[in-house]
Amino acid sequence: MTTPSSAPSTLAALVHCACHEQGGGGPFDPLRLRKDFPILTLTVHKDKTLAYLDNAATTQKPASVVCVLCEYYQACNANVHRSLHYLAEQATLRFEEARRKVQRFIGAPSERSVIFTRGTTEGINLVAQAWGRRNLKPNDEVVLTGMEHHSNLVPWQLVAKETGAKLKFVPVLDDGALDLDAYGRLLKGRVRLAAFTHISNVLGTVNPVKQMTAMAHAAGALVLVDAAQSVPNRPVNVADIDCDFLAFSGHKMLGPTGIGVLYGRLEILERMEPFLAGGEMINRVTLEESTWADLPQKFEAGTPHVSGAIGLGVAVDYLQRVGMETIRAYDEHLARSMIARLDAIPGVRVFGRAPERGGAVSFEVEGVHPHDLAQFCDKDGIAIRAGHLCAQPLMQRFGVPAVSRASVYFYNVEEELDRLVQSILKAKAFFHGA
């Protein structure tokens, strides 16, 4: 197991597992890495080998992550930051070690700027409520884009309604890229915040977040980056982007569900009031009033997801052994390979042709509803996503009620894409033929 040197030496004896080396060892080889993911050997619907192409929704977990959860509860479980006993000390050490792993992974200048959340959604809501609701005034403007996931749209709609602030949207061009000229014009208004996704979960578009951040800062606005799709996919460095907030989810990057991260610029976090209130986040409490704990605890009310954070730390270890630049290049290669295959099928339309892209590819098949297509794929053991993908405004932009999406990760292989094509052809023949 991957445990800090300070962890009890009995842990290894409790859980017999040789998964701590996973992800490393020799040049990049997806077939070798697949062996670290027991679920990828499953057969579904009796005899179909699982082809998991729904990675933009959630990724699978290597055995090292699954094992550390089990090991934590069997050998380390305690509440953190409070009790003065052996287990509590070990749990706290490992929880904070996970925070430092994340800090180094995203290039955050201080571990105090790394807040554990339940996921991207909670991170964005934290900023919307704790920063937005207090700082936005009537007619202030928040610039979003037309390709946001509902989780980077609806929280701002709520805050805009309460504060009287206005939401403005950067249009999406036909190729799936953002209209940066329009963005520049929008920034001339009373903009207090620009909030945009790094990689679209629908179109796969990689937005130029560093440039967009510099433009927003020059206009006097803060910047929040939704990095749910990008932190799993490529090197992401918050100091390099220079954003003020960046949110992502553990479960889309090999980690457990229910854990995520909000990075915030220290001086801004320090000025912000808490989001959730309760235990852990206080300093001194009387019946009348309270003072707040230091960062990051000020934003971590209640018992945190200790095992989740530790699992996320192990996921980060795994990703770093594979190499984030390697993952980026392979995901892009596989996504382009899929697009080439889809383009070769008459009646298939791919959404999202921006020059730089991640692993998600959305498409429609003429005459076959995405749900019916997903049903055909599922029958062949292929997991894809169908629906509005939590981006209804983007569906409206492209004039479709729903799309199908296949999204790859570093453990996917070309053969799975061939199988996807076969299922698409089968569905097409079925619905067009009869």
Partner 1 sequence: MELDELYQDILLDHFKHPRNYGPLPEPEVLVDELNPTCGDHIRLTARLENGRVADVRFDGQGCAISLASASMMSELMRGLTPDEARARAADFVAFMRGEKDLDPDTLGDLAALAGVRQFPLRIKCATMSWHALEKALGKLGG
Contact region with partner 1 (CB under 8 A), list: 7-15, 214-222, 268-276, 374-382: 374-382
Cβ at position 369, least distance to partner 1 in Å: 4
**Among 246, 314, 402, 424, contact with partner 1 (rule: CB under 8 A):** 402
**Among 387, 393, 422, 425, contact with partner 1 (rule: CB under 8 A):** 387
Cα–Cα distance for residue pair 173/381, rounded to 1 Å: 35
Greatest Cα pair distance in the chain: 74
Residue 390 annotated to the active site: yes
If the CB atoms of residues 356 and 372 are measured against partner 1, the closer one turns out to be: 372
The sign of the torsion formed by the CA atoms of 338, 341, 344, 345 equals: negative
C-alpha closest to that of 68 among 103, 94, 32, 44: 94
Which of the 8 DSSP states describes residue 409?
Answer: -
**Set 19, 70, 377, 390: catalytic member:** 390
Contact region with partner 1 (CB under 8 A), list: 59-67, 167-175, 223-231, 382-390: 382-390
Angle value at C-alpha 358, between 354 and 364, nearest 5 degrees: 70
434 binds partner 1 (CB under 8 A): yes
**Among 25, 109, 347, 401, contact with partner 1 (rule: CB under 8 A):** 401
The answer to whether the CB of 176 falls within 8 A of the CB of 203 is yes
In 70-112, the DSSP E strands lie at: none
Q: Are strands 222-226 and 191-197 parallel, antiparallel or unpaired?
A: parallel
**Among 118, 370, 408, 412, contact with partner 1 (rule: CB under 8 A):** 370
If the CB atoms of residues 115 and 202 are measured against partner 1, the closer one turns out to be: 202
Q: Residue 296: is the preceding peptide bond cis (ω within 30°)?
A: yes
If the CB atoms of residues 2 and 407 are measured against partner 1, the closer one turns out to be: 407
Residue 341: count of CB within 10 angstroms of its CB = 17
Instruction: State the amino acid at position 268 in one-letter form.
Output: I
**Among 100, 168, 349, 369, contact with partner 1 (rule: CB under 8 A):** 369
Tokens 């945190």 identify what position? 304
Cβ at position 407, least distance to partner 1 in Å: 18
375 binds partner 1 (CB under 8 A): yes
> Which residues are catalytically annotated?
390
Give contact residues for partner 1 (rule: CB under 8 A).
369-372, 375-376, 379, 386-388, 392, 395, 401-402, 430-431, 434
